[in-house]
Every structure is written in C-alpha cells, then in structure tokens.
Amino acid sequence: MIGSISSYSTAQIGNAAAFKAATATDPVSDAAENPGTSGTQDGSQTISTLARQLAASASRAEERDKTLTRSELADKAKSILNNIVGDSYYANKSINDNEIPNTSAPELLSRAKQATAFVNDASRGGHSIKNPFSGLSREQLSNIIYDESGTYTVNERHAAWRESYDQEEVWREKVAAQAMAEYNSTGKLTNFFKSVLDHFNELPAIEQAQYPKDYASDLQSKIDLDFNYRTHQAEGKDKDPMSLIEMLFEQSPQQANELPQEPENTIDSPTVRSNP
C-alpha cells in the first residue's frame, strides 16, 4: 500500500547553512555585477553571487508558471529532464562534461568544474566529491534544474537534480517508517496520506505538474475515508468504504516510465523517477 503512493562544499562557497541564508538582498559582488571580472574568491562573494543567480532563477520560474498550463508545464519538465538526466544527456555526455560557463569569474568556473567532477564521481558510485548545491532547498534546486536561461551548465543542473533526488529519498525513508509505525499502532495510514499530501503541496508547480491531475484530491479522499486496515472499516464520515480498492490501486505518478532511463553500466545512481 505504501508503495502505491509515489514514490561549493569548498572553502570558496561556505557551508550549506550559508547557502540557505543567502538572499537576493545580500551585497552583490563585483563578479556578479560584472561576470567578466575575477574579483576575490572568499566565501561571502560566492554566496552573494549564487544568491543573485537563485533570485533570478526564481523570478524566471514564477513567470514560466504564470504563462504555462499544467499540462504544458508537465511537457516542459519531461523535455528538460531528458536533457539533463535522460538519454539526451548521456548522448551528449562529452559536450556536457566540457561545457564552460560564459564567464571569467573564478568562482563560477570553479563551481561548474566541481559539478562535473561530482557528477562523474557519483555516476561511478563514488562519494569523494561534494555536490556544489548540497543543502539548498527543494525550491532552489528546482529553480536550478528547470532553468533554461544558460545561467547554469548542464552538469550543474544535473548535480542539482541529484541533490533533489537525495533529499526526496531521505524524506521517503522517514515517512515510510512513520507509516509502518502508524499502521502497527492504529491499523491506519491516514497520517501517512496527510504527510504525502503536505509534501506534494510544498512542491514547486513544475514538479506538481508531473503528477496525475487528481493526485491531491485522491489523497484527500483517503484521508477523509480514515480507513482501518485491521477492522476493514472506514471510520471517516460520509464515505463509501467500497471505493477504497479503487483508490489504493489508482496509478501513482509514472514519470520514471515516461522518461528515458540512465544507461546500464554507465551510472550507479538513482534513475529518473517520479517526484515526491
């Protein structure tokens, strides 16, 4: 039943907490104002530069979400993911690995280089190189992943996708454990469905668009039903327990089946999968 619900860190840029704290109001470095200048390479400058980029990405994402329908957002997401983690990405692997940002700013060049090193290390199952976007929020990561402006290299966006994937896996493990504890204690999964719905509602619009249109309403129906799997009774009010079978076996998001998978023997990391 649970399975039916779908499922840099270097001295230059400081730590993840500093990333999160950075905002568009931070002082903008010379390198951010003038990408052609090198400036200094201290942590505060890099954070300010990244903050500026993230603010611009958020603005572009907001405009995109206003102008595209839900189905158009889903189609765009599918196309983008194919280019940064699907067959198209691997078909152009050499090009992606040699991509250099259109800037002479040392911190941006260094971040892009680190992203490529991280991606290739992770694809071999390694953990020796830190993801340059480790610790960013899901929304910030999404804004990087789906940003087609050229602000980030393909491998930077791939690295952001991997961080988003890792955060999703951590959440899934936690909520699955809570679901089992709830079932063992009460015979229900109502709080599990609430957690999944809350998680879904917090996702960026372009990620929500990749789920079935009625995904949220289906979860809400399960919550309202308040079904007890031990007594086989629906304890919610004004709900038909006979609808439970349909709800439980309704198809979960299948983004993984719609997108090309990572080539075998090429990568040891998670393949494209449905968003949380």
DSSP code per residue over 186-252: HSB-HHHHHHHHHHHHHS-HHHHTTS-TTHHHHHHHHHHHTEETTTTEE-STT--GGGHHHHHTSPP
Lowest pLDDT segment from 23-37, 73-87, 116-130, 233-247: 23-37
pLDDT per residue over 37-71, tens digit each?
334 444 455 557 899 999 999 999 999 999 999 99
- Smallest Cα–Cα separation from 262: which of 116, 97, 122? 122
pLDDT at 208 over 50: yes
pLDDT for res 217: 95
pLDDT for res 236: 73
Average pLDDT, the chain: 78
Cα–Cα distance, 8 to 5 (Å, whole number): 34
Mean pLDDT for 226-243 is 71
Mean pLDDT for 149-154 is 97
pLDDT for res 264: 52
**pTM value?**
0.72
196: pLDDT confidence band, cut at 50, 70 and 90? very high
pLDDT at 140 over 70: yes
102: pLDDT confidence band, cut at 50, 70 and 90? very high
Lowest pLDDT segment from 60-69, 193-202, 263-272: 263-272
pLDDT for res 234: 85
Long-range CB contacts for residues 134-138, cutoff 8 Å, separation at least 24: 134/9, 134/16, 134/163, 135/15, 135/16, 135/17, 135/19, 135/20, 136/16, 136/19, 136/20, 136/54, 136/160, 136/163, 137/20, 138/164, 138/167, 138/202, 138/203, 138/204
By residue count, the chain amounts to: 276
